[in-house]
């Protein structure tokens, strides 16, 4: 019997069978590998593709004024997002929403045509706005609740409060300074969705609740703040000024009862003018001029160099090395006591006092009153101002410094100088936050620094001299009916760094604009308040001096504030 021979068709069947066998082996191995070795990895990857993680914003803590009025709070708002894969007609949906949202049809349609399952349509709408869109019953729109920051009193204390961004993070003011306290801790929502973006019933769903932020109580008195803002606006209109600032301090605690600037803004609708956002009472500087004469005279009295009765022969002008200084009003040489020099705001008389005092002592007292350093107020963006060390002063620099030039200060710093005199010579760190309210209702008080600058006796003498300024001197328009008050006028030319003075080619010159100010304390016998009014660049054809531009506003704010605090009128 012969051997069986392989025919071509047999070979073909063999190779075909071998190919299919190998294929099944490969498939089998792959199935074993996928279902066995890689099973958990692939399952995790598939789950990751189906899971969506959403951050749950925490409610920010509420900001109150000193009397418990809500200045900033968080409410529930509605955010609308779309799943473009669920929208059958992007153009029609966009047209239906455009008018309600104030967004162009083309912009919305482009969003709805994206190859994604999530696009924002509108963030943090109020209830009525969201309900109007919900009533349209449009496919592909989804609604989620988010916290929204609101400021119920509009622009009240706007530059103190600041504002938050779309994601509720503090961007200015107290909102920024105390972000860690107010923000709380965000939560998280994790859920499972289908390829078309729909939530899968019985799928993965996990929620970690957000933790609400802590509340903050400010030192601001809401009613006094409102009045101060009104006065700032009115003074700006009366004088044609670029801006007006008003500061009210409690002299026994250095709490800021009001801190107002005009122009201002509404933190509910912040706009785009960033210059309005900053609190210029602590972020902007100026040369204080005659209000700083208080420091020069107080230092000389404290050091025993002069008394209020010390008399100087005061000419109309005085030459100090390379510079000549003049009094505001031309006059014959006359004998003036230190009290007369303060009441009449004599530049020449103050320089004569400085010549007895000297640069090192003047510099020491400038530092003691807090000039050239951070006040430490709990507020972002504060600048220290500028007071150069005495060893760097030129031969005439002390004369200029003694009358309020060559020094850069903030309105808050200068108001604190007068509060120090009202507080029997003790400077304290100004505060705008009264307490951080803990979860258990307890409140944490911010730490406060203080230092003695003048003796009680010198502070009393200076209050008497400041009262003379109002009763018979340059500040008579600051008088408050029923109360004895004291203060000091200031009118300072503004240094323009880009202006070139005649006869020179170097930039930097004093221009035509001035800062007119009045800072005072009241009542004189038992001070409760220090108030500063600062008028930036009043028009040349309007009221220009501190005694005319700023003193009347001081009078009105002081009167309102004393009534607000229940301070009885003087017994006369």
Q: Is 187 helix (H, G, I), strand (E, B) or coil?
A: strand
Give dist(CA 429, CA 53) in Å, integer: 45
CATH of 222-432+447-564, one of 3.20.20.140, 3.90.79.10, 3.40.710.10, 1.10.760.10: 3.40.710.10
Give dist(CA 252, CA 529) in Å, integer: 8
State the sign of the Cα–Cα–Cα–Cα dihedral 196, 201, 206, 208.
Answer: positive
Give dist(CA 476, CA 551) in Å, integer: 8
Entry pTM: 0.84
Q: What is the pLDDT of residue 49?
A: 54
Q: What is the pLDDT of residue 182?
A: 95
pLDDT in tens, 216-275: 999 999 999 999 999 999 999 999 999 999 999 999 999 999 999 999 999 999 888 889
Q: Is 444 helix (H, G, I), strand (E, B) or coil?
A: strand
Give dist(CA 228, CA 531) in Å, integer: 10
Give dist(CA 472, CA 490) in Å, integer: 16
Give dist(CA 572, CA 569) in Å, integer: 9
3-state percent breakdown (helix, strand, coil) of the chain, nearest 5:
35, 25, 35
**Which residues, 6 or more positions from 146, have their beta carbon under 8 angstroms from its beta carbon?**
57, 76, 77, 78, 79, 123, 124
Q: Supply the angle between the helices 359-368 and 347-357 in degrees, to the nearest 10.
A: 100
Residues 547-572: b if buried by 16+ CB within 10 A, e if exposed: bbbbbbbbbbbbbbbbebeebeeeee
pLDDT in tens, 85-134: 989 898 999 999 998 898 998 999 998 989 888 899 998 888 889 999 99
- Sequence-ordered strand ranges (E) for 348-447: 426-428, 433-437, 443-444
283 and 382 in contact (C-beta within 8 Å)? Answer: yes
Which residues are known to be catalytic?
Answer: 290
Q: What is the pLDDT of residue 42?
A: 43
Q: What is the pLDDT of residue 9?
A: 63
235 and 535 in contact (C-beta within 8 Å)? Answer: yes
Strands 70-82 vs 486-500: parallel, antiparallel or unpaired = unpaired
Residues 400-438: b if buried by 16+ CB within 10 A, e if exposed: bbbbbbbbbbbbbbbbbbbbbbbbbbbbbbbbbbbbbbe
Give dist(CA 319, CA 5) in Å, integer: 133
Query: pLDDT under 50 in the chain at which residues?
Result: 1, 42, 46-47
């Amino acid at each position: 019997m012969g051997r069986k021979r392989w025919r071509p068709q047999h070979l073909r069947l063999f190779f075909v069978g071998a190919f299919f066998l190998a294929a099944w082996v490969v498939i089998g191995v792959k199935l074993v590998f996928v279902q066995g070795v890689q099973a958990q990895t692939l399952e995790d990857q598939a789950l990751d593709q189906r899971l969506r993680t959403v951050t749950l914003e925490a409610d920010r803590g509420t900001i109150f004024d000193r009397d418990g009025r809500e200045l900033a709070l968080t409410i529930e708002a509605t955010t609308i997002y779309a799943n473009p894969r669920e929208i059958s007609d992007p153009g029609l949906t966009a047209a239906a929403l455009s008018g309600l949202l104030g967004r162009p049809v083309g912009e919305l349609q482009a969003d709805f045509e994206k190859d994604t399952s999530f696009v924002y349509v509108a963030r943090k709408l109020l209830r009525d706005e969201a309900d109007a869109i919900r009533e349209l019953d449009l496919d592909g729109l989804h609604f989620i609740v988010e916290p929204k920051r609101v400021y119920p009193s509009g622009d009240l204390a706007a530059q103190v409060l600041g504002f938050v961004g779309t994601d509720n993070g503090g961007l200015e003011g107290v909102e920024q300074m105390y972000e860690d306290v107010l923000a709380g801790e965000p939560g998280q929502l994790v859920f499972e969705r289908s390829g078309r973006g729909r939530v899968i019933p019985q799928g993965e769903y996990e929620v970690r609740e957000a933790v609400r932020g802590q509340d903050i109580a400010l030192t601001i008195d809401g009613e006094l703040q409102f009045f101060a803002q009104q006065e700032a606006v009115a003074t700006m209109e009366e004088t044609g000024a670029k801006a007006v600032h008003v500061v009210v301090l409690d002299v026994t605690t250095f709490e800021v009862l009001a801190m107002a600037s005009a122009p201002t803004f509404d933190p509910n609708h912040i706009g785009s003018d960033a210059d309005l956002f900053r609190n210029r009472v602590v972020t902007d500087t100026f040369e204080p001029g005659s209000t700083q004469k208080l420091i020069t005279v107080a230092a000389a009295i404290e050091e025993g160099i002069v008394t209020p009765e010390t008399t100087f022969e005061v000419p109309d002008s005085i030459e100090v090395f390379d510079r000549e200084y003049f009094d505001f009003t031309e006059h014959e040489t006359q004998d003036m006591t230190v009290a007369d020099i303060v009441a009449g705001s004599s530049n020449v008389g103050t320089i004569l006092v400085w010549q007895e005092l000297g640069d090192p002592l003047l510099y020491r007292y400038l530092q003691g009153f807090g000039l050239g350093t951070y006040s430490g107020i709990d507020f972002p963006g504060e600048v220290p101002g500028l007071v150069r060390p005495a060893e760097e002063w030129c031969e005439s620099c002390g004369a200029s410094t003694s009358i309020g030039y060559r020094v850069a200060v903030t309105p808050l710093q200068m108001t604190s100088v007068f509060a120090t005199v009202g507080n029997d010579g003790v400077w304290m760190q100004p505060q705008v936050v009264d307490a951080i309210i803990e979860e258990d209702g307890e409140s944490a008080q911010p730490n406060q620094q203080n230092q003695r600058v003048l003796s009680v006796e010198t502070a009393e003498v200076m209050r008497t001299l400041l009262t003379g300024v109002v009763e018979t001197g340059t500040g008579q328009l600051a008088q408050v009916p029923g109360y004895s008050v004291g203060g000091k006028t200031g009118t300072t030319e503004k240094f323009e760094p880009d202006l070139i003075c005649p006869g020179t080619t170097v930039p930097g010159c004093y221009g035509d604009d001035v800062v007119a100010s009045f800072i005072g304390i009241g009542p004189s016998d038992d001070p409760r308040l220090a108030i500063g009014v600062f008028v930036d660049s009043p028009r040349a054809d309007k009221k220009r001096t501190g005694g005319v531009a700023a003193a009347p506003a001081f009078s009105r704010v002081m009167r309102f504030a004393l009534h607000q605090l229940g301070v009885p009128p003087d017994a006369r």
